[in-house]
Amino acid sequence: MENKKTFRREPLTDTQLLMIIAICIFVAMYLGAMLFLGGGFLRAQQVFDMLNDNAPLIIVSCGLTIVMIGGGIDISVGAVTSLVVMSCALFLNNGGNIYLSMLLALGIGLAFGLVQGYLISYLEIQPFIVTLAGMFFARGMTTILSVNPQKVNTEGTENLVELLTSKDPAQKISFIQFLRDMNFKTLLEGKIKIDWLGYTAPNGNRIPVRMEWGVVIALLCVIVIFLLLQYHKLGRGFYAIGGNQTSALMLGINVKRTRFLSYVICGLLSGIAGYVFLMHTGAGNATNAAGMEMNAIAASIIGGTLLSGGVGNVAGTLVGVLTLTTIKKIVVTSGLKDPWWQSITTGGMLCFFIILQSIVLSVRAKLRAKQKKG
Amino acid sequence: MAEHCLLEMRNINKLFPGVKALSNVDFTLREGEIHALMGENGAGKSTLIKVLTGVYQDDGGEIRVDGQKIAIRSPQDAQNNGISTVYQEITLCPNLSVAENMFIGRDKNALVHKKQREKRANELLNELGIPARGSQMLGNCSLAVQQMVAIARAVDLNCKVLILDEPTSSLDDKEVNVLFGLMRDLKARGVGIIFVTHFLEQVYEVCDRITVLRNGELVGEYLTEELPQVQLVAKMIGKDLDELSSFGEVEEKHFSDEDIFYDAKKLSSSAALPFNFTIHKGEVNGFTGLLGSGRSESVRAIFGADKVNGGNVTINGKKVKITKPIDAMKNGIGYLAEDRKRDGIIADLSVRENIILALQVMKGFFRPISRSEAESFADEYIKVLNIKTASRETPIGSLSGGNQQKVILARWLLTHPDYLILDEPTRGIDVGTKLEIQKLVLKLAEDGVAVTFISSEIEEMLRTCSRLIVMRDRHIVGELTGSDLNQAQVMKTIAGGEADEG
């Protein structure tokens, strides 16, 4: 009998339920698109294009999800991403080392995270205000660095990775050489080709699915953050402070430090996102990543993260980004090419999700109250 | 054999600016006993607890645990010394699992082993007989279980001293019994429990000893069986029964049924249990009882300040529905809230704006009261109530407590209510103003206004009310009128027990 008790399955948590809803809606939407729109949606490349285009958004959203689980908000992420893109582009064009440019990206993100986190957690200033200031600051800095678009000059070989993994001894390069020859062109144009997912063109050529390196980084970020949130002391701390700050304090959690770290991680991820962005576009532009913070918030919410904190999951956020992108793709494919249609549908979708969430949660709360009484 | 003292607090002092919150208080907790800490509001109970848990620093005195002198500087220090606290409001995270709530914040490893945690949690929950599973979300558990999870956490921290601060105030009878079972179980293991509560019956059910505080001073430590309830109440309130003489009596008034202004049958709200209540035109009645007995909750239900769940209300013989304050106001009911700072004044607005607020709400915001009208109202009441303010445009926050209270009174008088509820109108204000307010209450009654008056000071109630409704543990336990209106009788009724039948 005791065994039964221990092995009884628990009802889904709010986090899980909201994520499952998001996944169901995403799958339904994608299947619908495949059925009615066909075309690109029938090819695997469509999914990978979505990932290729949105790797930075995925990374930024992960950071934002952490902050939102902790009950905060960070609206500077898009601007920080943009600043990183511009800084790194300029740095590389002025002969900067490729590895140093990566460190620069991380450094800028980290700096924003540290300063904003300090102001919010230790000086207890409203996160919205602090990150709003951070947003203006980063946008301003980006424009000061350059008003004109900065295309990164690329030279060298792009297929270094293929050479590294090559089976032909004549072509194969050593790992040391790989590191020495690493250049931006490899990052920008080197793609991972997945043959079996590709399709055969009418002329008989096999066209493999192409995935950018940024997607690998983004997926790695999702996995790392997922593990952090689920199995690390710090990650559980984010949930605790988002659930009830006073309680978290009483339970012996260092609330200030935990909150501080949530912003630091978010800043760091913005830095990574900026670099991935540059790897995707190969140019810095003052209007880069405009509105990305709002898309990230939307993605987190669609993925089941609550603005009120304590509930959320990065796996859901990934689904959220894909859902958001699918909507936009569907709108474009349906022939509504003007950009405002995307905004309108995104807005409608977000509204729909928020209402759905609040209905689901309130119904659950009522059921729970009944159960408690009964 | 001398009993082993787990905790000794000697000569504890605590000063706050201008107030001596604790003066030379002693407290002793023995191994395996449940010790009630009793006292009215402001007696120093919570200050003592906070000194013990490291929330406040003491200003002199010493604390010994197991004979060892210790210094407690933070809640963490207290926990390390084996002192754990379970607060009234649950300080756990509802969005985490039961097991996580028990172990979070004290892991040594960075990584969290979920399964292992849940196993350990289940073992402990089974051992203590707590009906919860480690993998359950805490938010899905009943309040009582949540409270017990908090206790389980404390037990797992190897606590020697467990402080339960008002643990039963949000539990129903069944849940309270389960909690008591757990307390007795812990007692048998040698844990010393400090039980802070305002429910007298619960004290007599589980506690071995009682320590009573009053005005920051130790009244005494007693064995529960040696201290009858009436005595306990007398010690808490600070009058010995023998000393009590009947105070100046209010002349008895007789009201006929035709004069009934307000009548409620089985009125209940989210905070108050169902009760019946009637008040006549020109009558002053009072609700009395110890803190937490439900007196404020009841009048809040009358005004619709909490969520009203049920009941039939008639006003002047007509059936009405009062579910929110505006309904009550439209029916001529005014309510002066207990917590002036939180529910009463709007500190940054001027005296004038604070005075016209209720009237404006009643008229609706689309029919603004003109400036000159408002000014004349304000001037009138500043004069009538003798409000000491630099001008009618002074922000109310800069007035003294008594004058703030008068402004709030003016706010309600301006609406010309037929029934005015005053919840602790005299708390924290000077004696002169207290008398003025009492006189005003009596004058209002002469003019035919029904008044409900609540005060912690029984003498004050006896001076103003012609009928006293006594509450205990959220139930009305008696109504006193006429010759029964004396302090001894009130106390007996509050304490219940033998006096109830006699």
Candidates B101, B111, B135; nearest CB to A232: B111
* Residue in chain A nearest B119 by alpha carbon: A6
Q: Does A370 touch chain B (CB under 8 A)?
A: no
Q: How far is CA B355 from the centre of its chain?
A: 28
Instruction: Answer whether A240 sits within 8 Å of B93, measured CB to CB.
Output: yes
* B-interface mutation test, from A12, A236, A373, most B Cβ less than 10 A away: A236
Q: What is the mean pLDDT of chain A?
A: 87
Beta bridge partners of B212: B38, B220
Q: Which residues neighbour A24 within 8 Å (Cβ) at sequence distance 6 or greater?
A: none
Which residue from A10, A11, A253 is facing B105, i.e. has the nearest CB?
Answer: A253
- pLDDT at residue A227 in the model: 94
Do B105 and A252 lie within an 8 Å CB cutoff? yes
What are residue A345's DSSP bridge partners?
Answer: none
CATH number of domain containing B153: 3.40.50.300
The pLDDT of residue B247 is 39
Q: How far does A362 lie from chain B, in Å, by closest CA?
A: 13
In eight-state DSSP terms, residue B111 is B
Sign of CA dihedral B245, B250, B256, B259: negative
Put simply, whether B104 touches A (Cβ < 8 Å) is yes
Q: Which of A298, A348, A354 is nearest to A324 (CA)?
A: A298
The residue with tokens 């645990």 is B65
Helix, strand and coil content of chain B, in percent to the nearest 5, comes to 40, 25, 35
pLDDT tops 90 at residue A270? yes
Check whether A371 has a pLDDT greater than 80: no
Dihedral, B390, B394, B396, B400 alpha carbons, nearest 10: -20
Supply the range of the domain harboring residue A294: 14-37+44-149+212-364
In terms of average pLDDT, the best of A83-87, A164-168, A205-209 is A83-87
DSSP state, residue A244: -
Mean pLDDT of A248-271: 92
Does any domain span residue A1?
Answer: no
Rounded to 5 degrees, what angle do the CA atoms A82, A85, A88 make? Answer: 145
- Residue A251 to residue B111, Cβ atoms within 8 A: no
A71 close to B (CB below 8 A)? no
Please give the pLDDT value at position B240.
53
Count the domains in chain B.
1
B103 to each of B117, B127, B128, how far by Cα in Å?
A: 8, 17, 16
Is B295 a member of any domain? no
Q: Could you give the ipTM of this predicted complex? A: 0.80
Q: Is the pLDDT of residue A318 over 90?
A: yes
**CB atoms near residue B437 (< 10 Å):** 23
Over pLDDT 70: what percentage of chain A? 97
CA distance B308 to B312: 11
Would an 8 Å CB–CB cutoff place B122 in contact with chain A? yes
Q: What is the pLDDT of residue A65?
A: 96
Q: pLDDT by residue for chain B (502 residues), tens digit each?
A: 356 888 889 999 888 766 678 888 999 999 889 999 988 766 788 888 888 888 888 888 889 888 888 888 877 788 888 888 888 777 788 888 899 888 887 777 778 888 888 899 999 898 888 888 888 888 888 878 888 898 888 888 878 899 998 887 777 777 788 889 889 988 988 889 999 887 778 888 899 999 998 878 888 899 988 888 878 878 887 765 444 443 344 555 667 777 888 888 888 888 888 888 888 888 888 888 877 778 888 888 888 888 888 888 888 888 888 888 888 888 888 888 877 777 778 878 888 888 888 888 888 778 888 888 888 888 888 888 888 888 888 888 877 777 888 888 888 888 888 899 988 887 766 666 777 888 888 888 888 889 998 887 777 788 888 888 888 888 888 888 877 887 788 888 887 754 443 3
Any domain includes B317: no
What string of DSSP letters covers B237-281? Answer: HT--GGG----SPPPP----GGGEEEEEEEEEESSS--EEEEEET
**Chain A partners within 8 Å of B92 (Cβ):** 244, 247, 251
**Shortest CA distance to A293 belongs to which of A53, A64, A50?**
A64
Q: Which two tokens stand for residue B34?
A: 């449940």
Separation in Å, CA B114 to CA A229, A326, B92, B120, B132: 12, 35, 18, 10, 16
DSSP H or E stretch at residue B25: strand B19-30
Contact present, B402 and B424 (Cβ < 8 Å): no
- Is the Cβ pair A251, B105 closer than 8 Å? yes
**Phi/psi-derived region of residue B473, left when phi > 0, alpha when psi is between -120 and 50, beta in every other case:** left
Q: Measured between alpha carbons, how far is residue B284 from residues B29, B421, B452, B462 in Å?
A: 45, 10, 6, 11
The total number of structural domains in chain A stands at 1
Higher pLDDT, A42 or A277: A277
- Among chain B residues, the shortest Cα distance to A2 is held by B126
Inform me whether the C-beta atom of residue B93 falls under 8 Å from chain A C-beta atoms: yes
Q: Chain B: residue nearest A245 by CA?
A: B93
Cα distance from N-terminal residue to C-terminal residue, chain A: 23
Q: Is A237 on the interface with B (CB under 8 A)?
A: yes
The edge-to-edge listing of strands for the beta sheet with B450-454 is B333-336, B419-423, B450-454, B284-288, B467-472, B475-481
Place of tokens 């005299």: B426
Across the A:B interface, residue pairs with CB atoms under 8 Å apart total 85
**Chain B residues with CB-CB distance to A2 below 8 A:** 126
Q: Note which residues in 239-268 of chain A have CB less than 8 A from chain B.
A: 239-240, 242-244, 246-248, 250-253
Query: Chain A contact for B95, CB < 8 A?
Result: yes
Q: Which whole-number Å values give the CA distances from A208 to A44, A48, A211, in the listed order?
A: 10, 11, 10
Q: Tokens 């001076």 correspond to what residue?
A: B463
Residue A374 has pLDDT above 60, yes or no: no
Residue A4 forms part of a structural domain: no
Nearest CB to A239; choose among B75, B95, B153: B95
CATH of the domain at A284: 1.10.3470
**Whole-angstrom distance, CA of residue A238 vs CA of residue B254:** 64
* Cβ contact A250–B104 (<8 Å): no
DSSP-assigned letters across all residues of B393-450: TSBGGGS-HHHHHHHHHHHHHHT--SEEEEESTTTTS-HHHHHHHHHHHHHHHHTT-E
Report yes or no on B131 lying in a domain.
Answer: yes
- Tell me if B93 and A310 make a contact (CB, 8 A cut-off): yes
The pLDDT score that the predictor gives to residue B497 is: 54
Domain of residue B11: give its range: 5-227
Query: Distances from the Cα of A365 to the Cαs of A239, A279, A301, A371, in angstroms?
Result: 19, 45, 19, 10
Query: What is the least distance, in Å, from the CA of B93 to any CA of chain A?
Result: 6
Q: Give the per-residue pLDDT at A252.
A: 79
Query: Is residue A171 included in any domain, yes or no?
Result: no
Residue of A nearest to B94 (CA): A243
Query: pLDDT band at residue A8, thresholds of 50, 70 and 90?
Result: low
Contact at CB, B140 and A310, closer than 8 angstroms = no
Contact, A183 vs A199, CB < 8 A?
Answer: no
A355 three-class SS: helix
SS3 label, residue B7: strand
Kindly state whether residue B395 falls inside one of the protein's structural domains.
no
Q: Which residues of A touch B95 (CB under 8 A)?
A: 13-14, 239, 242-244, 310-311
Torsion of CA A329, A330, A332, A338, to 10 degrees: -110
pTM of the model: 0.75
Question: Is B95 in contact with A368 (Cβ distance < 8 A)?
Answer: no
pLDDT value, residue A1: 38
| B215: helix, strand or coil | coil
| Residue linked to tokens 């009878």 | B173
In this complex, is the C-beta atom of A11 within 8 Å of any C-beta atom belonging to chain B? yes
CB contact under 8 A, B95 and A234: no
Q: Do B107 and A233 touch (CB under 8 A)?
A: yes
Which token pair is A128?
Answer: 């919205």
Residues of chain B in contact with residue A239, where contact means CB-CB under 8 angstroms, are: 93, 95-96
- A164 within domain boundaries: no
Only one residue has tokens 């695997």, namely: A44
> Is A247 in Cβ contact with B93 (below 8 Å)?
yes
**By the CB < 8 Å criterion, does A57 face chain B?**
no
A368 touches chain B (CB under 8 A): yes
Per-residue pLDDT, B252: 57
Residue A51 is which amino acid? L
* A43/A40 Cα distance (integer angstroms): 6
Contact A253/B79, CB-based, under 8 Å? no
| Pairing status of strand B284-288 against strand B308-315 | unpaired
